[in-house]
């Protein structure tokens, strides 16, 4: 944990709201991105980010100073979003679908881009990032934690409470699905 974060955590534990405000400022983007990747909706991501910090504030006394604050915060974020996803699933009867990885939906997302516009690497990248948003939440989460947050396989497995092999398989399947979607798009473009 950086010295600055450690000092802010220490002051926050003494009840200094300003210090906790600075802590929120320093880590807000991290929590928001995790929430967005897990829930796929900006409004939900905002609500959950707020909820994560309220929980963090409540549980600050339970945070062990020898561990990393960001890891602790990730854990709260992941648990809060998993709970939210469960309640959304039960409310809306939405289920995690593996078929989001069969390439059909992703191809459609990538196909939605104007073929003539898909010529530069930037266009290709944007099309791919849209395709990531179309992945099912568990794959999207693994992608976000690995690529955006820079966490290791072990850290992701620990955070999501899933075996290491499952993390690797999620990432591998997601990458292949994305590659397949890009490939079919390029084929269309050339054809």
Cβ-defined contacts of 122-129 (< 8 Å, 24+) = 124/182, 127/182, 127/185, 128/178, 128/181, 128/182
Residue reference for tokens 């699905």:
177
Asked if 183 touches other proteins (CB under 8 A), the answer is: yes
- We find the least distance from the C-beta atom of residue 128 to other proteins, in angstroms, to be 5
Asked if 63 touches other proteins (CB under 8 A), the answer is: no
Nearer to other proteins, 33 or 79 (CB): 33
- Residue 114 Ramachandran class (φ > 0 left, ψ -120 to 50 alpha, else beta): beta
Asked if 79 touches other proteins (CB under 8 A), the answer is: no
d(CA 113, CA 104): 15
Q: Which of 13, 16, 33, 162 binds other proteins (CB under 8 A)?
A: 33
Which range, of 16-24, 62-70, 98-106, 153-161, touches other proteins by CB under 8 A? 16-24
Which range, of 2-10, 54-62, 92-100, 109-117, touches other proteins by CB under 8 A? 54-62
Secondary structure letter of residue 135 according to DSSP: S
123 close to 104: Cβ distance less than 8 angstroms:
no
Question: Which of 132, 139, 127 shows the shortest CA–CA distance to 173?
Answer: 139
Torsional sign, CA 75, 78, 80, 86: negative
Nearer to other proteins, 154 or 187 (CB): 187
- We find the least distance from the C-beta atom of residue 95 to other proteins, in angstroms, to be 25
Asked if 147 touches other proteins (CB under 8 A), the answer is: yes
Query: Interface residues with other proteins (CB under 8 A)?
Result: 17, 20-21, 24-25, 28-29, 32-33, 36, 42, 45-46, 49-50, 53-54, 57-58, 121, 124-125, 128-129, 132, 143, 147-148, 175-176, 178-180, 182-183
């Amino acid at each position: 944990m950086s010295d600055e974060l450690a000092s802010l955590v220490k002051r926050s534990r003494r009840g200094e709201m300003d210090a906790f405000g600075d802590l929120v400022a320093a880590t807000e983007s991290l929590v928001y991105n995790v929430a967005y990747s897990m829930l796929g909706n900006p409004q939900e991501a905002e609500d959950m980010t707020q909820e994560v910090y309220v929980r963090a504030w409540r549980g600050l006394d339970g945070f062990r100073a020898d561990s990393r604050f960001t890891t602790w915060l990730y854990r709260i974020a992941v648990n809060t979003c998993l709970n939210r996803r469960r309640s959304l699933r039960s409310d809306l009867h939405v289920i995690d679908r593996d078929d989001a990885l069969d390439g059909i939906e992703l191809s459609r997302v990538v196909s939605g881009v104007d073929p003539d516009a898909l010529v530069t690497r930037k266009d290709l990248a944007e099309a791919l990032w849209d395709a990531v948003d179309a992945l099912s939440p568990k794959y999207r989460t693994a992608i976000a934690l690995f690529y955006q947050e820079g966490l290791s396989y072990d850290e992701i497995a620990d955070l999501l409470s899933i075996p290491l092999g499952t993390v690797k398989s999620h990432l591998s399947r997601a990458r292949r699905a994305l590659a397949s979607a890009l490939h079919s798009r390029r084929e269309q473009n050339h054809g």
